[in-house]
């Protein structure tokens, strides 16, 4: 870092120069924030895209940078008149700290059933050293206000910058992830979006909205999100590694080898080291990139609508089914993994739009008309295994079509799952 005009300046491969004010610098130098240097933004995606080794630390700085830009533009247009004078500072700090509670390896552990990283962020903000650093800002109730912004609650008119359909976090991670993966899918017109941000009245209160001239840029953001999920986040090998990692952690927790509280404070490497031991070979396979292979890969479009929600939403049930199916096809428990991720709100956008006539209306985008189809196109029902095995596709699809209660009934009755 170098000091220019009262700001520390960090050189960033995506945004070039990021100026950091004194309040943000004090936060940056704390141990909870420094931990983010060692938490990868995209989990095990680097096993597929070698450049995807960027960290939550870089992403947090980038989100803070976008917050500064957005607030500067809103201030220049006198859009923040009437807001508390310290509100921009709180928003900047919330942008910087929004991922301070993040687990190692991206969102995999939340998929595995661990508490949300937003909840962990609330815990970190209520602990030292962040309590003292934030208190030193002199901003009344700063910790609670930051927590509310991260959670998307509270009355701040600017909360949409931190949590919402058009939040700065989303703009930053899509742009950075695409850049670091070396793919053209995450192209976002960031300048157009930032210059189109406005404050509008909704429900009798001011909220962040978008001027009509920014609708095309918003649509490109949503389409970029779809493409990144389809081509990067849900890439078959990335999902294989993610499933292996989730299973390794769940098994370690079940044995009592790890504690949830410790995991929430660990780094990527600390967690991987803790997973090495006599009980699991999954961590070693991940280190050597000996990933489980696809034994079944079916596009969601070929399955009935609404199928398999329990696969994405009930990790405890999935683990039991995986082991039962493994035994039925001659594998040992843990050598077969089932995956069917979903994100139904992938292309949701509830951003109010300021029209050229001066009225406020919901965003009406062409992409909304095909949102469900795009979500379906991005999803695939997959079964991975440690070694080649023949799987009855029809029986597995029928199993996925059942509800969680129906699957539990079959398990309780000791009925074969693949007949």
Across the 419 residues of the chain, what is the mean pLDDT of every consecutive 10-residue run?
74 96 97 98 98 98 98 96 95 98 95 94 96 97 96 92 93 96 90 96 92 94 94 98 97 95 97 86 94 97 87 95 96 96 89 93 87 94 96 93 93 90
Q: What CATH number is attached to the domain comprising 85?
A: 1.10.3210.10
216 and 253 within one domain: no
CA atoms within 13 A on the CB side of 338: 26
Same structural domain for residues 55 and 8?
Answer: yes
* Residue where a domain terminates, one of 211, 234, 257: 234
Contact 338, 318 (CB under 8 A): yes
Claim to verify: residue 197 and residue 156 sit in the same structural domain: yes
Peptide bond into 129 cis (omega under 30): yes
**Structure confidence at residue 214 (pLDDT):** 95
**Boundaries of domain holding 77:** 2-234
pLDDT for 187: 82
404 is a domain residue: yes
- pLDDT value at position 2? 60
DSSP state of 370: G
Distance of CA 294 to the CA centre of its chain: 24
Domain count, the chain: 2
- Residue that terminates a domain, selected from 208, 234, 260: 234
Q: Whole-angstrom distance between the N-terminal and C-terminal Cα of the chain?
A: 63
Give residue 37's pLDDT. Answer: 98
| Residue 355 maps to a domain | no
Q: Are residues 208 and 245 in the same domain?
A: no
Whether 18 is covered by a domain: the verdict is yes
Measured between alpha carbons, how far is 75 from 58 in angstroms, rounded to an integer? 26
- Statement to judge: residues 78 and 158 lie in one domain: yes
pLDDT at 299: 95
217 and 133 in a common domain: yes
């Amino acid at each position: 870092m170098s000091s220019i005009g009262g700001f520390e300046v960090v050189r960033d491969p995506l945004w070039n120069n990021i100026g950091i004010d004194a309040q943000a610098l004090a936060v940056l130098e704390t141990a909870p924030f420094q931990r983010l240097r060692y938490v990868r933004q995209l989990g095990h995606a680097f096993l597929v895209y070698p450049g995807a080794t960027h960290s939550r630390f870089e992403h947090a700085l980038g989100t803070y940078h976008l917050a500064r830009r957005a607030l500067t533009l809103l201030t220049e247009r006198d859009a923040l008149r009437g807001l508390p004078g310290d509100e921009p500072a709180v928003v900047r700090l919330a942008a910087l700290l929004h991922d301070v509670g993040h687990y190692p390896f991206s969102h995999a552990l939340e998929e595995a059933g661990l508490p949300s990283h937003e909840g962990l962020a609330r815990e970190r903000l209520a602990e030292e050293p962040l309590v003292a650093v934030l208190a030193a800002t002199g901003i009344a109730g700063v910790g609670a206000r930051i927590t509310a912004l991260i959670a998307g609650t509270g009355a701040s008119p600017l909360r949409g910058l931190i949590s919402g359909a058009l939040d700065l976090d989303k703009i930053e991670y899509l742009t950075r992830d695409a850049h670091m993966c070396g793919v053209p899918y995450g192209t976002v017109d960031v300048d157009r979006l930032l210059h189109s941000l406005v404050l509008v009245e909704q429900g009798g209160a001011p909220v962040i909205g978008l001027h009509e001239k920014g609708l095309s840029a918003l649509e490109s953001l949503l389409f970029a999100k779809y493409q990144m999920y389809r081509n990067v986040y849900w890439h078959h090998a990335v999902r294989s590694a993610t499933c292996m990692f989730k299973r390794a952690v769940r098994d370690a927790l079940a044995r009592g080898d790890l504690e949830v509280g410790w995991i929430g404070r660990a780094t990527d490497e600390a967690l991987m080291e803790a997973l090495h031991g006599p009980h699991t070979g999954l961590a070693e396979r991940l280190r050597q990139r000996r990933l489980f292979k696809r034994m079944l890969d079916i596009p969601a479009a070929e399955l009935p609508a609404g199928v398999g929600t329990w696969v994405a939403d009930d990790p405890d049930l999935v683990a039991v089914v995986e082991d039962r199916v493994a035994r039925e096809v001659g594998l040992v428990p843990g050598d077969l993994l089932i995956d069917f991720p979903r994100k139904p709100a992938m292309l949701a956008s509830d951003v109010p739009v300021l029209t050229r006539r001066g009225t406020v209306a919901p965003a009406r985008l062409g992409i909304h008309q095909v949102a469900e189809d795009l979500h379906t196109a991005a999803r695939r029902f997959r079964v991975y295994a440690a070694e080649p095995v023949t799987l009855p596709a029809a029986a597995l699809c029928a199993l996925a079509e059942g509800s969680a209660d129906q699957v539990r009934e079959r398990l309780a009755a000791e009925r074969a799952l693949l007949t």
